Amino acid sequence: MNIRRLSTRQPDFNSQLDRLLAFEATQDHQLDATVAAILADVRTRGDVALLEYTRRFDRMEVHDSAALELPPAVLLAAFEGLPAAQRAALEQAAQRVTAYHQKQLQVSWSYTETDGTLLGQQITPLDRVGLYVPGGKAAYPSSVLMNALPAKVAGVGELIMVVPTPDGVRNALVLAAAHLAGVDRVFTIGGAQAIAALAYGTATVPRVDKIVGPGNAYVAAAKRRVFGVVGIDMVAGPSEILVICDGQTDPDWIAMDLFSQAEHDELAQAILLTPDVAFATAVAQSADRLLAQMPRCEIIRTALENRGALIDVADLDEACVISNRIAPEHLELSVADPQQWLPKIKHAGAIFLGCYTSESLGDYCAGPNHVLPTSGTARFSSPLGVYDFQKRSSLIQVSAQGAGMLGEIAEVLALGEGLHAHAQSARFRMGS
């Protein structure tokens, strides 16, 4: 395997790094037009259109919209049919993810000023959330837990899952995870038509307030288009890992951590930063040796050769600077005393500290969410969390005395902006 070697000592390092990181989702105008037509059609014709698209795209012989819903007994049966080890692992993961996310729960707050004026925020859960789950090979039960459990912890009233079942094939692990996570209703629909049904509602599928979950290019384009009608989570790019290693971790471990990102798909990005040149060479040798054992070796090879890199850095300080420039989705600090480097890390979706913390532990069961900002968006966004399923309303209760004091300020500023009704509205309350 031929993984790119770079060094910050190279004079053109910055431009090489830019090229390595360059990724821009191409906007496909034809796809976008197709999606727009599907959205408009489902919005207008509701269930009739939804059934048509499901017959066409998923080759399902459905003619009755009620048949699109999976009854709870089907989910329960999927859960009870799991091998004991899988069932136990799912349950333990769900318990840990729930416990972690409970720490994120925000509560209403207020304070009262000396003149009796009360200020604060009322924090409430969303009423109804839609969870998109892809069909086929990219359907991950862990993703069902990671998207559904924060919504449940937030207290979302109703959680609606959509999952396409092309040719009628269902994924038992996904349905079992839906049961475990407390999903309220499941519809076997997918693609842009499922996003339309969730955003606008049909006679069968209730309208939701926010849509979360991963999907293909059609789903992503549909989510972008309904943004504003409903809330959406991020539209994710290819997955990435950046490993900073001081050279003291087993090179096999680091090579496998790079693989675990690369095996997701050919566009995934895995990069190592190390001040130890010999260690980088050892990791490359480990990768060569370990690759053959991997069932997804061709995906791993393609990802690492096209988008991977082993980068020599001057020291760990420089590694932190480069990491902040990349703002990686996953960052492993596989170094001695990793906590000391935390204050230097400004942008990362999740930080995995110390040599025992493989990214895969975080993907499944450590507790934190595995839905993370990609493509450098950790500069301004956060992991999916309970806070994505709560919203705030400002609270303002002005006392009679407060209305006098605040009214004088508001009147001056309103007149300065030429808004006389604002000024008069404040003035009416001033003499009271």
> Which of the residues 101, 179, 330, 370 is marked catalytic?
330
Does the footprint of a copy of itself cover residue 29 (CB under 8 A)?
A: no
**Residue (130 or 275) nearer to a copy of itself, CB:** 130
Does the footprint of a copy of itself cover residue 285 (CB under 8 A)?
A: no
387 burial level (CB within 10 Å; 0-12, 13-18, 19+): middle
**Residue (89 or 267) nearer to a copy of itself, CB:** 89
Site for a copy of itself in 146-185 (CB under 8 A): 173
Q: How far is the CB of 277 from a copy of itself (least distance, A)?
A: 23
Q: Does residue 239 have a known ligand-binding role? A: yes
- For the four alpha carbons of 131, 164, 239 and 26, in that order, the dihedral sign comes to negative
Q: Does residue 179 have a known ligand-binding role? A: no
Does the footprint of a copy of itself cover residue 410 (CB under 8 A)?
A: yes
- The site map against a copy of itself for 230-259 (x = CB under 8 A) is xx---x--------------x-xx--xx-x
Structure tokens at 16: 């090489």
Site for a copy of itself in 377-396 (CB under 8 A): 377-383, 385, 387, 391-396
Site for a copy of itself in 205-234 (CB under 8 A): 209-210, 228, 230-231
Tell me which of 206, 360, 386, 431 binds a copy of itself, using CB under 8 A.
360
Does the footprint of a copy of itself cover residue 286 (CB under 8 A)?
A: no
Site for a copy of itself in 120-139 (CB under 8 A): 120-122, 124, 126-127, 137
Site for a copy of itself in 44-83 (CB under 8 A): none
Q: Does residue 184 have a known ligand-binding role? A: no
Q: Does residue 330 have a known ligand-binding role? A: yes
Which residues, 6+ apart, have CB-to-CB distance to 397 below 8 Å? 117, 118, 119
Q: Does residue 132 have a known ligand-binding role? A: yes
Would you call 370 a catalytic residue per the annotation?
no
Would you call 329 a catalytic residue per the annotation?
yes
Annotated binding-site ranges for Zn(2+): 261, 264, 363, 422
Active site residues: 329-330
Annotated binding-site ranges for substrate: 239, 261, 264, 330, 363, 417, 422
Annotated binding-site ranges: 132, 193, 216, 239, 261, 264, 330, 363, 417, 422
